[in-house]
Structure 1
Amino acid sequence: MSALDYLPVTVIGGYLGAGKTTLVNYLLRNANGLRLAVLVNEFGELAIDRDLIEAEEEGLISISGGCVCCSFGGDLIAALRNLSQMQPRPQHILIESSGVAKPSAIFDSVALLDGFSADGVVVLSDAETVQENANDKYMGDTVLAQITQADILLLNKCDLVDPQNIAETANWLARQNPNARLVKTKHSVAAPEVVLESFLGRQKITEPHHHLDQMTSMNLIPTTSLDAMNLAKTLAEGEFGLVRAKGFVTDISGDKMLIQIVGRRWAIKAADPKLKDGLVCLGMKEQMRPSQLRALIA
C-alpha cells in the first residue's frame, strides 16, 4: 500500500466544556474541499451546526462540501472500515472522544489498523478551568491523563483570561506534558492545518488574527538523499518551533519516504518513487527556526 493510500485519523480530546464540538464545527465550516468524516460515540454527543447539514439518514449526517458525520456506538473499528469504503472516500477522519475518555486508547486502536494512519491526538484545555479541574478529586485524574496523552495542546478560551494567567497556565501545561506542542486559541478557532495534517500544503495559513499564536509555514526542498529516519526524529525532537511537518525525501537507501511530524511524534512510510522531494513545515512564527531547519537538509 502506498503511503498516500493510508487514511489519516486524528483524535480530538478534552474535558467537558473545553470546546471540542465548537472546534469540529469550525473545521467542517473551513474544510475548503477536503472531505472530512467525523466519528462520535453517539449522535447526541455532537451538535453539528444546522446550516452545515445537507441530509440526515439513520446513522449518517451529510454535510456541505462532501463531509459526513456518523456514530460508532460500541464498534469503532467497524465504523472506521465502513468509512474507508464510502464513495467518495473521506480524505481525513476526525474522532471526537467523549469528555471523560482517554484519547490514547482510541489512538492506539487506530494505529493497529491496516489502511489507516494515526495522525495524532489533539486535546483542548479550558484556560479558565483546566488547573482547577486537574486538582478535583473526582475528575482530576481524567483531566491530567488527557493532557499527558496529547501531541498538540490547544489552550482554549484565552479571551476569557488575562495574559498573566494565560502564561501561567501555559507553563503549567508544559510541565504536565513537555512533549506536546502548545497553541493558544479563543472560541476553538485553530488553523485547520494545525489540527489536521491533510491541510498542510493545501492552502495559505489561516489569517493570524484568528489565533493568539501566529502560525507560519515554510518549505524544505532537499537536493540530495538523506537519512529519513534521522531527519524525522530530529525534526520531532528538536527545538525548531514546529507543530507539524509532512513531505517526501529520498532516503540514503534510494527509497522515497513519507515523513510525518505531529508534536514530537514522528513516522516514516515508503512512498511512490515518482513523488518530488519536499517538506511543508508549520510552526509558531515567534518560535520557528528557518535557518536551523534549512541546515538539516544542506
Structure 2
Amino acid sequence: MSLPVTVIGGYLGAGKTTLINRLLRQSDGARLAILVNEFGALPIDADLIEQRSDRMIALAGGCICCSFGDNLVGALQELAGLSPAPHQVIIEASGVSIPSAIAASVSLLPGFRLFGTVVLADAETVRGQAEDPYIGDTITRQLGDADLVLLTKCDLVAPDAVGATSAWVAEASNGAPVIAVTGGAAPREVLLDLHPSDARPAAAHADAQFDSLILTPRGAVDADAMARALASKRLGVVRAKGFVLDAEGALWAIQVTGRRWAVTRAKPGQQVGVVCIGPAGQLDDTALQALLD
C-alpha cells in the first residue's frame, strides 16, 4: 500500500510551524512523518520530543520528524523502510519554495502517492506580498499550486476584509477551496488521510468551523463521477473519503482533497459510505444527497 503524502507550502510567517505542531498534538495514534529541509526551520514544541539524532527526531505518539536537506527522494525512501511504517508523510516546504516541484518528486516515486498540496496564506499580508516586485511571483506560484488554501491569522483581520481576501485568494489559486482559520485550527480530517471511521464529526471541534455529512449509497455508484462531483466547487466539499460499490459489486475507494480527486480499487470488507467535510454553512446537503439518486 502506498504512503499518502501531504505537501504544506506557504510564504515565511504564514503559520506552517503552528499548523504542524497542532497536527502532531492531535495525531491521536496516527504515526506522522514530518519532513523538513532542516530542523532549524521547524521548531518542534520541546515537550513533544522523545529522542533526537542528527537527521531524525522521535516524537511522542510514534511520530517522527526528519531532515531531508537536498535529498528529498532519499529521505522518503528511508521512511518507506521504517518498521512500523508511518501512516502519512507531511512535507513542510520552505517559505520561498514552489510546492509543485516537491509534489512532482513525490508523484514519480514508487510506494508514495500525493494526497494533496495545502498552501497557507497570511490574511493580513498575502495581497500585499503578491504585489511585491521581489516576492510577488513566488506568492502567486505558491497559491497556484494549491489543492486547498488555509487563510491564516483571520483573528487579526476585520471580518469583511477576511471575506474579500478569501475571494481574492480563491481566484489566485485557480478556484481551490479557501478555509479561514485561526491558530492552525483546520481539523485533521481535512489534512490527513484518515479512514472514514476515524473521522470525528465537525461538531466535535471547539471552534465549530466545519460541517460534515456522510453519504450512504444503497446501490451501485459510478465512483469516478461521484469523486469528480465532490471535487467541484459548487458542493462546498474540501475533503471527502469513503468506499462505494459499482454495478459489478467491486469496491472502490474515493479520495478528495480540495479540487484533487482519486479513485482506486479497495480491498473487500470496507464499510460503504463517503464522509464529506466542508466549512460551516457551505456544504450543499441537497446536492450532495442527489449524488445518490
RMSD of equivalent CA atoms? 1.5
Is 1:219 equivalent to 2:214 in the alignment?
yes
Equivalent AA in structure 1 for residue 260 of structure 2? R
1:183 partnered with 2:186: no
Corresponding residue for residue 81 of structure 1: 77
Aligned twin of 1:295: 290
Q: 1:265 is matched with which residue?
A: 260
Measured in 2, the distance between the counterparts of 1:238 and 1:48 equals 35
For residue 239 of structure 1, what is the aligned residue in structure 2? 234
1:129 and 1:117 map into 2 onto residues whose CA distance is: 32
Q: Which amino acid aligns with 2:118?
A: V
**How do residues 88-107 of structure 1 correspond to structure 2 at under 5 angstroms?**
88-107=84-103
Q: Secondary structure at the match of 1:117?
A: strand
Q: Secondary structure at the match of 2:219?
A: coil
Q: Deviation per CA, 1:193-238, whole angstroms, max 9, x where unpaired?
A: 1222327541424644437xx2111211112112111111111125
TM-score after normalising by structure 2: 0.95
- Identity rate, percent: 47
**SS of residue matched to 2:255:** strand
8 Å CA contact 1:35, 1:65 repeated in 2: yes
Cα deviation code 1:69-93 (max 9, x no counterpart): 0011111112112112211110011
Distance 2:40 2:196 in 1: 31
Please list every run of 5 or more consecutive structure 2 residues that lacks an aligned counterpart in the other structure: none
| Equivalent in 204, 208, 213 of residue 200 of structure 2 | 204
Partner SS state of residue 73, structure 1: coil
Gaps of 5+ in 1: none
CA contact (8 A) 2:196 2:274 kept: no
Q: Which amino acid aligns with 2:272?
A: D
CA contact (8 A) 1:228 1:252 kept: no
SS of 1:292 mapped into structure 2: helix
- The corresponding residue for 1:62 is 58
Q: Deviations over 1:213-271 (max 9, x none)?
A: x2111211112112111111111125111011011111234422111001111111111
Pair 1:140 & 2:136 matched: yes
TM-score normalised per structure 1:
0.94
Deviation at 1:47, TM superposition (A): 0.6
Q: Cα 1:201–1:143, aligned 2, differ >3 Å: closer, same or farther? A: farther
Distance (whole Å) between structure 1 residues aligned to residue 90 and residue 275 of structure 2: 22
Match of 2:10 among 1, 10, 14: 14
Give 1:109's aligned residue: 105
Give the Cα–Cα distance (whole angstroms) in 1 for the partners of residues 205 and 167 of structure 2: 22
1:154 and 2:136 aligned: no
Q: How many residues get paired?
A: 292
Corresponding residue of 2:224: 229
Indicate the larger mover: 124-133 or 274-283.
274-283
SS at structure 1 position matched to 2:235: coil
Runs of 4+ in structure 1 deviating by more than 4 angstroms, as ranges, are 206-209
- Does the aligned pair in 2 maintain the 1:92–1:198 contact within 8 Å? no
